[in-house]
Amino acid sequence: MTVVQCGMKRENLVIAVFGIVIGVLVTMVVNRVSGTSRQFDGDYDRWRKLNLILEQVQENYVDTIDMKKMTDAAVTAALSQLDPHSMYLPPVDLEASETELAGNFDGIGIQFNVPNDTAIVLSVIPGGPSEKAGLLQGDRIIKVDDRVIAGSKTPQDTMVGLMKGPSGTKVMITVSRDGTDIPFEITRGKIPVHCVDAAFMINDTTGYIRLSKFTRTTFKEFTEARDRLLSQGMNRLIFDLRGNTGGYFDQALLLCNEFLEKGEPIVYMEGLHRARQDYNADGRGSLKDIEVSVLTDESTASSSEIFSGAIQDNDRGVIIGRRTFGKGLVQEPINFTDGSGIRLTVARFYTPSGRCIQKPYSEDYAYDIYERYMHGEFTDADSMKVDKSIEYHTASGRVVYGGGGIIPDIFVPMDTTKATGFYLKCNRKATQMRFASAMFDRYKDSLAPIDDFRALEGYLDSLDLGAKFLEYAAEVDGIRPEKGEWAKTEEYLMPQLYALVGRYSRLDDEAFYRFYIEIDETVKAALDAPGFVGQVTAQ
C-alpha cells in the first residue's frame, strides 16, 4: 500500500552540476575507441539512453568518477523537468522530511530561542531526556560536545542538528546558569512533536485552535483539544491554519470528517495514470453542529487547503484571511534501499466543486509569494489573481473561482499601518525577543511557575513592561521613539511584549497566542463574521 503525503516542500534549485553532467553525457554518447565511432540505440521511450550514457561515462571517462554523485545529479536533473514538487531526496534529506511529519523525533527534548547569538532554553519537555538530566528553562547553551555555539553565529538549524541524534546516543551539553558553566551528559530519546500549538476559549462560547502542520498525531491532538473546549462550552470554533504547510493526507480527511454530514464530499484526486478517486464524509464527526471559521494566509498549503476547500464548497463555514498557497499535488513517496527516495507527483487534488487546488506553474513559481506581495495582493483583495473564466458552485449555489489556492470568503489585508519607524528599528534588532529573555532572567522565579492566564496577565500588568521596554531599547540598542511614535506604537507593541514574556510561564505557547490575538485582525474578523456562510459574499 502506498502512503500518500501532500506536505509542501522547499523548492529545490537545479544544481549547478547539471550543466556539466549533461555536457559530459552528450559528449560520451559517441564512444571513440581505436579511432572508430559506435552508435547505440538511444530509445527515449524506454529510458535506454540515460543508462547507456552513464555506462559510457563509467567505462571510458578520463578520470575517476564518483558514480553515486553522478547518478544523484542525473536523477535530480531529470526530475527538475517535471513539476516543481517532484524531487529526489538523498538519505539525509529523506530522513529529515519523514521526521518532520512523524510526530516525534530523536533528540534531547528542549525548545530554545536565539535572541543574542546564544541559544536560551525556552522550555524543557516534561519527562524528556533534558529534564531528567537537569536542564532548566533559561539555561544558556554554550557548547554541544566540543563545539562552541554561543556567540559564534552558528545557524539555528545547525544547532538543532548538533543536538539531534539517534535514541540511546549521548551528547554533552554545556550550559551557563547564573554565571556558572555546567556540563550535562544527556542520553537522547524519542521526543514528541506537537502540532496543536494552542487551544483555548476566546470567550464563553468561542474556541480557538491553532494547528501548525498535519503530522501522524494531528487527529489525536485535535480531538483532545476539541473535547476540552466542548467541555468548556464551545459552540463556535476559530480554526487557525495560517502558516500550516500541510502534511499527511489521511489526517486532513479525518479533520474534514469531524465537520461534515454523511456523504458530503471532501476532495477528489485524479491523474493521467490514476483514475478519479472521491473521498466523502461518513457522518460520524463530533463537530457537525459547531459553527466554524477557518483562518488562512499565503502559507496555508496542501492538506490545509484540502480542509479549507471542503469547508467552503460544502457551505459549512467561513474562510477568512488571504488566498492560500495553491499546492494541490498528490505526492507518492518511492523509497530506495540506500535510504534515498523520490517524491513523485501522480495526481492533483480537486475541491468538491471541481476546483483544482494547484496553482499554475510559471517561471516565477518559486517566488510566487514574493510576487504576490509586490503586486499588492496582501493588502488589496482586488489584486488577487482570480481565474473568472470558469465559475464553480458550492453546495448552496454560491459562485467560487479557481486559479490555484482557496480564495477566502472574507479578505483580511496585512496591516502595515502600525509599523512606525521605532517599531521597525526594534524588529531589525529583535529587541522585543531579547527584552523578553531579559525579563525572564530578572523575574524567572515568580514568572516561570504561573499556570493560570488571568494570574499571568495580572502579574505582567504589575511589571510595567512598557516603561521597562523603552528603557531597555534605549540602553541596549540605542533605539528611542521619535515624538509621537510611542503613542502610535504602544497599542500594537504591548500585546507582543506580553506574548513574548508570557511564553516563559508554564502556559508556554498558549500564553503567546492568547495575548497576541488582541492585535490579530484576522481573529477579530472571525469573531465579527456572520454565523452562516450564506450571508457572506465571496471575494
Q: Give 452-472 pLDDT, tens digit per residue.
A: 999 999 999 999 999 999 999
For residues 48 and 32, what is the distance between their CA atoms, to the nearest angstrom? 20
For residues 189 and 167, what is the distance between their CA atoms, to the nearest angstrom? 4
The residues facing 182 across adjacent strands are: 175
Q: What's 539's DSSP letter?
A: -
pLDDT at residue 18 tops 60: no
- 277 and 320 housed in the same domain: yes
Q: Residue 118 corresponds to which cell in the numbers above?
A: 546564544
pLDDT at residue 351 tops 60: yes
From residue 317, alpha-carbon distances to 292, 304, 325, 372, 533 in Å are 5, 14, 20, 26, 6
Output the pLDDT for position 211.
96
Spatial contact of 257 and 218, defined as CB atoms under 8 Å apart: no
Specify if 339 maps to a domain.
no
Q: What is the pLDDT of residues 121-148, one digit of tens each?
A: 887 876 688 888 888 888 899 999 999 9
For residues 532 and 317, what is the distance between their CA atoms, to the nearest angstrom? 7
Q: What is the pLDDT of residues 277-322, one digit of tens each?
A: 999 999 999 999 999 999 999 999 999 999 999 999 999 999 999 9
The residues facing 291 across adjacent strands are: 236
Per-residue pLDDT averaged across 9-38, rounded? 35
pLDDT band at 26, cuts 50/70/90? very low
For residues 265 and 353, what is the distance between their CA atoms, to the nearest angstrom? 9
Spatial contact of 201 and 229, defined as CB atoms under 8 Å apart: yes
If one counts the domains in the chain, the total is: 4
Output the pLDDT for position 250.
94
For residues 267 and 253, what is the distance between their CA atoms, to the nearest angstrom? 9
Domain end call among 137, 165, 192:
192
Instruction: CATH number of the domain at 204, please.
Output: 3.90.226.10
Domain end call among 99, 132, 163:
99
- 289 and 408 housed in the same domain: yes
Specify if 222 maps to a domain.
yes
Other C-beta atoms lying within 10 Å of the C-beta of residue 42: 13
Among 28-32, 37-41, 341-345, 403-407, name the one with the lowest average pLDDT: 28-32
Output the pLDDT for position 497.
96
For residues 94 and 72, what is the distance between their CA atoms, to the nearest angstrom? 13
Instruction: CATH number of the domain at 157, please.
Output: 2.30.42.10
Per-residue pLDDT averaged across 14-35, rounded? 34
Among candidate residues 357, 353, 355, the one with its CA nearest the CA of residue 395:
353
Q: Residue 18 corresponds to which cell in the numbers above?
A: 547539471
Per-residue pLDDT averaged across 170-190, rounded? 88
Kindly report the average pLDDT of the chain as a whole number.
Answer: 85
Specify if 7 maps to a domain.
no
Q: What is the pLDDT of residues 59-76, one digit of tens each?
A: 898 998 888 888 888 888
Tell me the residue ranges of DSSP E strands in 297-438: 318-321, 329-335, 341-350, 387-393, 399-402, 410-411
The boundaries of the domain holding residue 175 are: 104-192
